[in-house]
Each structure stands twice: as C-alpha cells, then as structure tokens.
C-alpha cells in the first residue's frame, strides 16, 4: 500500500490547565492543600497570604474582583442553615450563594501550626486526665523501649549482644517470632554461645515491661503475666493450670469439657475466666509504635436554635490574595520581558484563587446536601442513617458523580456525634418488606445493638440475627449478616459464648 495523507475532522474534549488545576485542588485533603498553597506562594510573587486585621483584605469584599472580572482573593461561602424540624423539606435551589468575604476573618493557620490548632478541644493542662507526654510526645517503638530497659541493668558484652538479637526478633505484639535456634545461629561463631545462655538472657528480657513481653506463644505470655500477680490473688493457681494445660479448650469455649478436665465447678471456672480476661494477649500494643495522626475537619456542622448550621472550617481554608503592589506594576501595552513575566504570574494567581474559590463552594454545596439528607443520623444516630449514593448528591447539586467522588475523598465533617469522612455518609441499601429501603450502615448499627444485648450463654447466630431483622421488616440474607458482622470485628457466635 502506498502511504497517503488523509484529512479528517473530529471533536474531542481537551482539559485546559485551569481545569486540571481545579480538579487537582478539589481532591486534595486540607493538609495537602496547605502544602499546595505554600508551594504556590513560593513560586508566584503575585500571591500572598492575607492576615487578620489587614485593611486591604478586610475591604476586599467590595473589590474582590478586578476590572477583568477575575477574583483577586479567596472568598469564603457563608454558613448555610437547615431547618431541623421539617425532615422532608426539599433542598433549596442553588443560585443564592453569597461570594462576599465576611468583615472579620480568623488568622490564617500556617503549615507549622496545623497540628496545634487541632488540639483546641482537648482538656486543659489543669485537669487530672491531661497527659502532656501522651498528647505531644514522639511515638516510641517497642524495640527502643526494651533497649532502654536493657541499658539499665548490668550485663556482660556477650549477653548484651544476645539480648539485642532477641529484641530484634520481637514483633509489635510483643512475641518472639524467631526461634532460639535461629537466633543462636545468627550470632558470630567467635562468641562461642551455648543455647543455655540464650535461654537465660531471654528469661531476663521476659522480666521487662510491659509484662508478658518476649513470650514464644500465647500460653507463655499469659503465664508470665500471671506470675507477676500477687500470691493472694483468688483462683491464681487454678488460672495457671487452665492457661498451662487447657488453653485450647478455653479458646474454643468448650466450657463443659474444660470443667471436666480441670475439675472446676461452674462458679469457679467463671472466676478463673474473669481473671484470665484481665490479662493482655498482646502486651507489645501498650507501647506506641508511631506518631499520632490528627484530622482537621473541613466542614463543621452544629445545631443552633433547632436548626443545623453548615459552615467551612475557617482554619482549613487558605486565605490567599493577589499582591496589589505587584499587580499595579503590570502595564497593558508593554510587551517587555519583565512585564510579560508579571502578567503571566498575575494570570496564574487569578486562576489559582479561582480554583480555591471553586473548591470551597463545591465542598460547601456537597456538605449541605449530605446534612440535608442525613438529618436522621445527626438527630438519632447510626440506626437512622439513610441510603445515599453519589448519584443522589450529584443530581442535587448539578454536578458529575466523579466530581462528588473527588470532593468527598479525604474530606472530614465535624458533627456533634464525632468527626467522619464525607464518604462515611454514603452507603448501599437493602429492601424492606414494605417496599422501602434501609441503609447498610443502619443495619450494622442494629447488628451491633443486638449482639450487645444478647444472652452471653446463648449468643445470637447469623441466622437468628437475620430472623430478628426480618421481624422488623428488613430483609437481609445470612451471608450479608456475616459480612457486616466481620466488618464490625464481631466474633462468630461460637466464640462469643461465655459463662455468666
């Protein structure tokens, strides 16, 4: 075939850099947005942060747009009040959003102050339950905690090397993962270490805090903790015998077989089980293994005079504006290199501010619709959660589902019932006998409630829970109940059985 030139006409959608920037900012979390704004401030001289009390920024509500119609500063949407009495009211039509800046704005939070601002709701240092170290200290690993204790006891150089090898083999739960043979083989041959020395050092490590550390299995872990209890502890000897000889029966909750083998009566076994349940099967979990993570809510929802008020968190909204001094240097008819540089940066600054403004308005619209739809959750809790999908919110605000997905990712809402990611309010549904719909989140809450109120001697099976929900008009299959129960970290009925 001979090569030929063919001219074709077609249409395709091209995303402009401005649209790409708006989409990228829309899906960023509050912390990522702070970093993005900081990078933009360092790269663009036309951008600057606005401080509280700045006359130029305070007056920008009347001059927030320049002669070309482009925004020169980020405006914050005003709070939206929803009537909490009419549960079936329709959402108001969009179009009356106030884009002006309030007269008074809080001081903008810098990147280094983000974590400090999130602790404003913590108790004061004068209260008894305030622990400054646990709130502000750096996380400590289990290995560093054990090595710190190791340095406090006198020990030969050989034993110290053995102890370090043993500590390195302890996992986050506090158990010794590696066998003593492997640890012995990992030591240098010139040390000439015997197995008895390794076991002796291990016994010394097992005396460290937290109690039960360095055990090779669950039975040894519990026995180490039992040995630390006072000698006059009731049922101490019987608990030791059960943990040492019959732990598998206790784990499978075969209490009848356990009573026969341990020769204990039911009331005695009940006391033994209660004593064993006070022990920690994962002692390593008592030591923090990393830095605490904080969440800064993007939206705040509160009740005011029997109405739900939805507003953006002022501390998470960057206060960015165009530097008027630099902007005044731009000359329209000048095509010099310096003027071109200033003009390009000015246009990029306007695009960036417009993208931030669009992000704030979209987030506010979506959050308002979520609160409008989930008033029952705010009033009554999880059991009143309604089914909600992305299409419902997208249709209400007139946007695409992909946009709703971006705006609800890594965005958090502070409510009187806690802080939740916006995606938490979306859930699938199941049918009811009356033809209605019931949220899967509400079903999980009902399962948790039924399990909490069950008879410990005869816990509810998945089939029984499905039958109880069916009596309430909720049609859920047994397999679905098992899936929801596992997502709640609730053990099967055979493992929930206990003596009372």
Q: What is the mean pLDDT of residues 118-146?
A: 55
DSSP string computed for 411-435 = -EEEETTEEEEGGGG-B-EEEBTTS
Cis preceding-peptide flag for 238 (omega within 30 of 0): no
Strands 412-415 and 418-421: antiparallel
pLDDT at residue 486 in the model: 86
pLDDT at residue 477 in the model: 83
pLDDT at residue 494 in the model: 74
Label residue 292 by pLDDT band (50, 70, 90): low
Tokens of 366: 């979506």
pLDDT at residue 101 in the model: 35
pLDDT at residue 82 in the model: 73
Q: CB atoms < 10 A from the CB of 269, how many?
A: 19
Instruction: Round to whole Å and give the CA distance between 346 and 323.
Output: 9
| Tokens 């909204």, residue located | 317
| Superfamily for domain range 427-496 | Homeodomain-like (1.10.10.60)
Nearest CA among 63, 60, 111 for reference residue 318: 111
pLDDT at residue 414 in the model: 92
What percentage of the chain has pLDDT greater than the value 90? 4
pLDDT at residue 484 in the model: 84
Nearest CA among 115, 130, 143 for reference residue 288: 143
Cis preceding-peptide flag for 12 (omega within 30 of 0): no
Q: Is residue 323 predicted with pLDDT exceeding 50?
A: yes
Instruction: Round to whole Å and give the CA distance between 431 and 14.
Output: 42
Cβ(404)–Cβ(289) below 8 Å: no
Element (H, E) at 321: strand 320-322
pLDDT at residue 55 in the model: 47
Q: Is residue 165 predicted with pLDDT exceeding 80?
A: yes
* Residues forming CATH 1.10.10.60 domain(s) in the chain: 427-496
Label residue 434 by pLDDT band (50, 70, 90): low
Q: What is the mean pLDDT of residues 477-489?
A: 85
HEC assignment per residue over 70-125: CECECCCCCCEEEECCCCCCCCCCCCCCCCCCCCCCCCCCCHHHHHHHCCCCCCCC
Facing residues of 439 across strands? Answer: 429
- The pTM is what? 0.63
Q: If you compute the radius of gyration of the chain from its CA atoms, what whole number of angstroms results?
A: 32
pLDDT at residue 135 in the model: 45
**What does the pLDDT look like over 69-83, one tens digit per residue?**
567 677 667 777 776
Q: What is the mean pLDDT of residues 140-162?
A: 86
pLDDT at residue 368 in the model: 92
pLDDT at residue 62 in the model: 37
Facing residues of 65 across strands? Answer: 71
Label residue 189 by pLDDT band (50, 70, 90): confident
Cβ(326)–Cβ(340) below 8 Å: no
Size of the chain in residues: 500
Cβ(308)–Cβ(84) below 8 Å: yes
pLDDT at residue 1 in the model: 66
Q: What is the DSSP letter of 69?
A: S
Label residue 290 by pLDDT band (50, 70, 90): low
Between helix 218-227 and helix 236-245 the angle, nearest 10°, is 160
Instruction: Round to whole Å and give the CA distance between 311 and 290.
Output: 33
Instruction: Round to whole Å and give the CA distance between 58 and 226.
Output: 67
**What does the pLDDT look like over 379-397, one tens digit per residue?**
888 888 888 888 889 998 8
Cβ(321)–Cβ(60) below 8 Å: yes
**What mean pLDDT, rounded, does the chain reach?**
78
Secondary structure class of 44 (helix, strand, coil): coil
**What does the pLDDT look like over 80-108, one tens digit per residue?**
777 654 444 444 444 343 334 343 334 33
Of residues 96 and 363, more confidence is placed in 363
Instruction: Round to whole Å and give the CA distance between 383 and 377.
Output: 7
Cβ(60)–Cβ(101) below 8 Å: yes
Label residue 459 by pLDDT band (50, 70, 90): confident
Instruction: Round to whole Å and give the CA distance between 319 and 309.
Output: 22
Tokens of 318: 């960057």
Q: Is residue 125 predicted with pLDDT exceeding 60?
A: no
pLDDT at residue 442 in the model: 85
């Amino acid at each position: 075939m001979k090569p030929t030139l063919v001219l074709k006409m077609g249409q395709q959608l091209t995303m402009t850099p401005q649209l790409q920037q708006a989409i990228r900012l829309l899906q960023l979390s509050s912390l990522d947005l702070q970093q993005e704004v900081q990078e933009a401030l360092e790269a663009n001289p036309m951008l600057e942060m606005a401080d509280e009390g700045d006359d130029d920024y305070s007056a920008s509500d009347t001059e927030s747009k320049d002669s070309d119609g482009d925004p020169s500063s980020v405006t914050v949407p005003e709070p939206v009040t929803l009537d909490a009495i009419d549960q079936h009211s329709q959402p108001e039509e969009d179009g009356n959003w106030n884009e002006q800046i309030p007269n008074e704005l809080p001081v903008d939070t810098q990147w280094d102050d983000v974590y400090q601002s999130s602790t404003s709701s913590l108790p004061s240092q004068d209260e008894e339950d305030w622990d400054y170290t646990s709130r502000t200290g750096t996380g400590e690993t289990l290995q560093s905690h054990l090595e710190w204790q190791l340095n406090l006891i006198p020990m030969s150089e050989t034993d110290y090397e053995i102890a370090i090898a043993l500590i390195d083999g302890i996992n986050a739960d506090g158990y010794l993962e590696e066998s003593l043979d492997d640890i012995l083989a990992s030591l240098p041959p010139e040390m000439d270490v015997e197995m008895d020395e390794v076991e002796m050092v291990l016994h010394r490590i097992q005396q460290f805090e937290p109690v039960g550390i360095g055990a090779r299995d669950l039975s040894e872990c519990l026995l180490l903790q039992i040995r630390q209890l006072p000698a006059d502890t009731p049922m101490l000897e019987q608990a030791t015998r059960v943990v040492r000889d019959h732990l598998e029966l206790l784990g499978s909750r075969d209490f009848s077989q356990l009573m026969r083998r341990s020769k204990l009566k039911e009331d005695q076994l009940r006391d033994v089980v209660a004593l064993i349940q006070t022990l920690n099967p994962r002692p390593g979990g008592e030591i923090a293994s990393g830095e605490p993570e904080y969440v800064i809510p993007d939206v705040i929802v509160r009740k005011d005079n029997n109405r739900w008020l939805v507003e953006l968190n002022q501390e998470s909204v960057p206060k960015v504006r165009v530097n008027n001094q630099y902007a005044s240097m731009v000359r329209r008819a000048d095509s010099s290199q310096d003027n071109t540089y200033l003009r390009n940066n000015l246009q990029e600054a306007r695009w960036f501010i417009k993208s931030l403004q669009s992000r704030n308005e979209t987030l506010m619209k979506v959050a308002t619709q979520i609160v409008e739809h989930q008033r029952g959750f705010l009033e009554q809790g999880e059991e009143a959660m309604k089914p909600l999908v992305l299409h419902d919110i997208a249709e209400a605000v007139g946007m695409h589902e992909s946009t709703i997905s971006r705006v609800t990712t890594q965005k958090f809402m502070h409510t009187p019932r806690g802080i939740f990611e916006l995606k938490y309010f979306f859930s699938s549904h199941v049918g009811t006998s009356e033809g209605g719909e019931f949220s899967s989140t509400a079903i999980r809450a009902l399962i948790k409630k039924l399990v909490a109120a069950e008879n410990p001697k005869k816990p509810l099976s998945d089939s029984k829970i499905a039958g109880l929900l069916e009596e309430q008009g909720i049609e859920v299959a047994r397999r679905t109940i098992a899936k929801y129960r596992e997502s709640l970290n609730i053990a099967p009925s055979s493992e929930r059985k206990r003596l009372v």
